[in-house]
Amino acid sequence: MTGALSHMLTPAVVGYAEPWWMAILKSLVIFAIGLQLVPLVLMAERKILGRFQNRYGPNRVGPFGAMTPLADIVKLLTKESFRPRTAIGWLFTLAPILSIIAAVAALAIVPFGNVQDIFGTPVGFYGIDVSIGPLYVFAFGAVAFYGIMLGGWSSGSKYSFLGSMRAAAQLISYEVAQGMALVGVVITAQSMSLTEIVEGQGGMWYVIPQFVGFLIFMIASFAETNRPPFDLVEADGELVGGYMTEYGGGRFALYYFAEYLNVLVVSGLAVTLFLGGWMLPFGIHPPGWVDPFIVIGKMGLFVVFFIWVRATLPRLRYDQLMSFGWKVLLPLATLNALITAIVVVAWY
């Protein structure tokens, strides 16, 4: 019974069969670690952004301000959860939950290491290793977009509505370019399983042969995670706060959390697809338990880059955003995929 159930629950597991309790255990561990990383990212963002602007950033709560996220959470969760009278109640409540579920689900696919032997049990250091890796991410990216869209729409406020409309246009446009950028990687690796893509980078990380794809993926990722310079969805200056204008307290915390979790997921994907995942350059082969730390370290590099770009670039105008996505990124990504395909077919 349990065997059949586990087979039903994880139908797409490739590589090896893992017991059902292992899947639950792994999801708990990844959930716990991922959720610990989010406050760190939050803190890093505020601190590093401060340095870029010649100031300290938060440094009052705890040593070096390290307890600030904790204080933030306590503050947000003790606030009243109000909603506007014009809001659609159940959608208003559901939207942030959708948002965070999609973010956490996307985190499951980031591989932190290959299959290791722990006390005689083979354990893959990832939530799931589906044979359709990038598609899974895009599927949950689309669900996350529902979270934003419904949140803005059900708020019953004009600014929220404008924000969610922008989100709709922006996320759809850039998801296309992002997907096309990944096609090059998938063609080169000749697999859509993320662990196999990482294994395929043993000789050379894909950031070198797929540099154009990497750039497009990064730019599209900024747009997908609503980070500056593509933060038109929030655009504090124009839209007050975009889709989350009417949210406060715990629900706002969920949105905020999902946003930073998305940054982590995108960083993890970039590491997996372009920076060789858990591999180190120059032929260094550390023991297997180091792998997750390597992946998290590389993710940290990307997070710092995200913050750096936020400190540097101003927000795009809406028409510039659209023309950049459709007229520059998409043709470039398509060209990249085409050339990669031709090269791969000609060489192999």
Partner 1 sequence: MTWTPGPDQIEVVGGPSKAGGAGGLYRAFGETLRGLKTTFMQATEGVTTVQYPEEKIPVYPRFRGRHRLHTFEDTGLEKCVGCSLCAAACPSDCIRVVAAENTPENRVSAGERYAAVYEINLSRCIFCGYCEIACPFDAITMGHDYEMSDYNRSDLIFTKEMLLAEPLERTPLRAEGE
**Segment interacting with partner 1 (CB under 8 A) among 50-58, 104-112, 245-253, 338-346:** 50-58
Of 235, 172, 212, 222, residue with least CA distance to 328? 212
Segment 308 to 347, residues that bind partner 1, using CB under 8 A: 308-309, 311-313, 328
**Segment interacting with partner 1 (CB under 8 A) among 53-61, 132-140, 156-164, 259-267:** 53-61
Residues in the chain: 348
Residue 265: which residues within 8 A CB-CB, separation 6 or more?
103, 106, 107, 110, 137
C-alpha 293/C-alpha 309 separation (Å) is: 24
CB closer to partner 1, 231 vs 246: 231
CB closer to partner 1, 121 vs 323: 323
- The answer to the question of residue 56 lying near partner 1 (CB under 8 A) is yes
Question: Smallest distance from the beta carbon of 114 to partner 1, in angstroms?
Answer: 34
75 burial type by CB count under 10 A (0-12 exposed, 13-18 middle, 19+ buried): exposed
Segment 181 to 240, residues that bind partner 1, using CB under 8 A: none
CB closer to partner 1, 122 vs 331: 331
**Segment interacting with partner 1 (CB under 8 A) among 156-164, 188-196, 306-314, 334-342:** 306-314
CB closer to partner 1, 301 vs 328: 328
User: Which run of H or E residues covers position 121?
Assistant: strand 121-124
C-alpha 28/C-alpha 156 separation (Å) is: 36
C-alpha 238/C-alpha 242 separation (Å) is: 9
**Segment interacting with partner 1 (CB under 8 A) among 169-177, 279-287, 307-315, 336-344:** 307-315
C-alpha 278/C-alpha 202 separation (Å) is: 10
Size of the site for partner 1 (CB under 8 A): 14
Q: Which residues bind partner 1 (CB under 8 A)?
A: 48, 50-56, 308-309, 311-313, 328
